[in-house]
Structure 1
Amino acid sequence: MRDTRGVLYPARLPEFHRLPPAAAARDLAVWFWIPEWSIEPGRSSRQEIVGYPALNLVVENGEVSLSGATTRGSHRDLTGTGWAVGALLRPAAVAALVDEPAALVDSAQPVDAPALADAVSAVMASGEGHRERGVAVFSEWLARRVGPLDDGARQANALVDVLMGEGAADSVEEAATRLAVSTRTLQRIAHRHVGVSPAAMIRRRRLQEAAEQLRIDPAADLAALAADLGYADHAHLSRDFRRVLGIAPRTYRAASSAQS
């Protein structure tokens, strides 16, 4: 699976895979992402991301960390040789890992999970099939850590499905109507299980889709694209791009085309 939505310049990626979770973690992770890289000495590879509104649990260099949802684009410069195995978490997994996900927005914290770090590290060094086995042991650990899901966790998953999935809602009010809850309840669920507001999740989805469409179709009309994605107008799309990524859509389109 090589879905690169959220990655601003896929041509720069090292070897990169997105794999589905094992059955035990199907309600706990959207997917697992695994980059592997070997960069020549003295060089680096910059990876620029407009992340999903979700938390990520990551094993890298023998350690485990939990990173929160982001409000802006981010980047990382890869050097040397390495790998990471990360789980893009579904909201149902969050309560077992952090009490206040809003406190992790745009930041990360270490997680005391040496058994997970050791198990994933051993598998990643084991040769053929290491990615699939890494996902399997990570999924099993996550399922044990979270335990049985309650109704609140399942409702939180449904919230993200409505806001980020196929045929996603275009407004907070529409999402609340689909889930048969009040907008206040929607806000509370998002705060407890994601850390950002439903409106912020909708904005991030639109921005990711806009960036993806500009990569796929460099000739796309920006005004038409803005209308298709629910922006008020072309200027609204441009403001969102500049606020989060620091560049205009036209600039991003030109840079993306040059690197494809």
Structure 2
Amino acid sequence: MRQQPRGDSRGILDPSRMLRQVHFRRHLPAAPLRRYVEHYWLIDWDLREPFTQHVVPHPAVNLVFQRDGDGRETGEVAGVGRELFTITLSGRGRVCGVQFRPGGFRPFWRRPVAELTGHRRPLTDLAASWPPAAAHHGGICDGTDTERRRALDDLLTGWAPEPDPVTDEVIRLVEEIRADRTVLRVDAFARRHGLSTRRLQRLFLDRVGVGPKWVIRRYRLQEAIEQAAEGPPPDWATLAVDLGYSDQAHLIREFTAVTGTSPAAYARSLG
């Protein structure tokens, strides 16, 4: 079991600029929740001018609580986002977020996670169909980091997620895709694990919210973005081959379609 939250910047466009503008950090949840939750993420800001951040979403559901400068707190469930996520922050505020492990929200939601894909739904709208949503009465973003972490632990523990070996299997499969760059084709990955392609697709749609092909492509694209952000511009032709794209042009098209800018222009913008 991990003892520290993930330290990469995968998915965050221009992470250095973000860290100069806001106070961003990650924390692990209580040990019993780590089978479901990747990490908690906390952001505080006090800005003189508005700041816009872009994120290429992970194949993960997030639970997000935001406190504005007037002290109002709102909560929402953010399903897996297929498009570039953009948010503009201004004034003062706080966010307390839960990034579930891909597949890890299913034991809380208890319905096909694909129902949430591409949607951000206020917790107040879910109270009738999902009783645990009514348990949020504010105060998640109050206090110190320790107090905020404890509030999130209490909230998630109170929802009594139901252990499910199939969900555990899917979480392991997604983690393998994330960590193993050689995973490039759905059919080969399914055979590796003794599953039919159709069975693998059904499992991912139900537990993760998107299909395995989308997960593979998203993780490989996030690797390309991370390499562009963290060092000298890579050799894009070589990187395209390493990440399973048919050629450099294929990587450039997908990179541009998702981020809105070409790889070369993105790398230059970080200079």
1:48-127 equivalences under 5 Å are 48-61=54-67, 62-90=73-101, 91-97=103-109, 99-111=111-123, 112=127, 113=133, 115-121=135-141, 124=142, 126=143
Matched, 1:32 2:40: yes
Q: Matched residue of 1:83: which SS?
A: strand
* CA root-mean-square deviation: 2.0
Matched, 1:243 2:243: no
- Ranges in structure 2 where 5+ consecutive residues have no aligned partner: 68-72, 128-132
Number of positions where the alignment pairs a residue of Structure 1 with one of Structure 2: 249
Matched, 1:15 2:20: no
TM-fit CA distance, 1:92: 3.0
Instruction: Work out the CA distance in 2 between the residues paired with 1:165 and 1:119.
Output: 36
Q: Matched residue of 2:146: which SS?
A: helix
Instruction: Work out the CA distance in 1 between the residues paired with 2:28 and 2:163.
Output: 19
Runs of 4 or more, structure 1, over 6 Å off, are none
TM-fit CA distance, 1:152: 1.9
> Which amino acid is the alignment partner of residue 85 of structure 2?
S
Once structures 1 and 2 are overlaid, which stretch shifts more, 96-105 or 179-188?
96-105
> Which amino acid is the alignment partner of residue 148 of structure 1?
E
Matched, 1:46 2:52: yes
TM-fit CA distance, 1:168: 6.3
In the superposition, relative to structure 1, how do residues 180 and 135 fare at CA in structure 2: closer, same or farther (>3 Å)? farther
TM-score under structure 2 length normalisation: 0.84
TM-score under structure 1 length normalisation: 0.88
Instruction: Work out the CA distance in 2 between the residues paired with 1:168 and 1:22.
Output: 32
Q: Matched residue of 2:270: which SS?
A: helix
Q: Which of the pair is proportionally richer in helix?
A: 1
TM-fit CA distance, 1:119: 4.4
Instruction: Work out the CA distance in 2 between the residues paired with 1:76 and 1:117.
Output: 25
Once structures 1 and 2 are overlaid, which stretch shifts more, 143-152 or 183-192?
143-152
- Give the aligned partner of residue 70 of structure 2: none
Instruction: Work out the CA distance in 2 between the residues paired with 1:94 and 1:33.
Output: 20
